[in-house]
Amino acid sequence: MQVKKITIPDITRRKQQGPPISSLTAYDYPWARLVDQAGIDIILVGDSLGMVVLGYNGTVTVTMEEMLHHSKAVARGVERALIITDMPFGSYNASHREAISNATRLVKEGGADAVKLEGGTEMAKVAAAIVTAGIPVQGHVGLTPQTATSLGGFKVQGRDARAAKKLYDDALAMEEAGCFSVVLEAIPAPLAAHITKKLSIPTIGIGAGSQCDGQVLVMHDLLGLYDRFTPKFVKQYAKLSRLSLEALTVYKNEVEERRFPADEHSFAMKEEELVQLLKALGE
Active-site residue set:
185
Task: Please return the burial class of 187, using the count of CB atoms within 10 Å of its CB with bins 0-12, 13-18 and 19+.
Answer: buried
Residue nearest to ligand KIV (CB): 46
CB 179 within 8 A of CB 162: no
If the CB atoms of residues 228 and 273 are measured against ligand KIV, the closer one turns out to be 228
Residue 221 Cβ, how far from ligand KIV at the closest point, in Å?
9
Smaller CB distance to ligand KIV: residue 12 or 146?
A: 146
One-letter amino acid of 174: M
In degrees rounded to 5, what are phi and psi of residue 94? -85, -45
Contact 111, 90 (CB under 8 A): no
Question: Which stretches of the chain bind ligand KIV, using CB under 6 A?
Answer: 25, 44, 46-48, 86, 140, 183, 185, 206, 216, 218
Instruction: Give the shortest CB-256-to-ligand KIV separation in angstroms.
Output: 39
Nearer to ligand KIV by Cβ, of 70 and 72: the residue is 70
* Residue 182 beta carbon to ligand KIV: minimum distance, rounded to whole angstroms: 11
Decide: 50 and 58 in contact? Cβ < 8 Å. yes
Is 111 or 145 the residue whose CB approaches ligand KIV more closely?
A: 145
Q: How far is the CB of 226 from ligand KIV (least distance, A)?
A: 11
Cβ within 8 Å of residue 87, ≥6 positions away: 67, 99, 102, 103, 106, 115, 116, 117
Q: Can you tell me whether residue 231 is helix, strand or coil?
A: coil
Q: For 117, how many CA atoms within 13 A lie in the half-sphere containing its CB?
A: 34
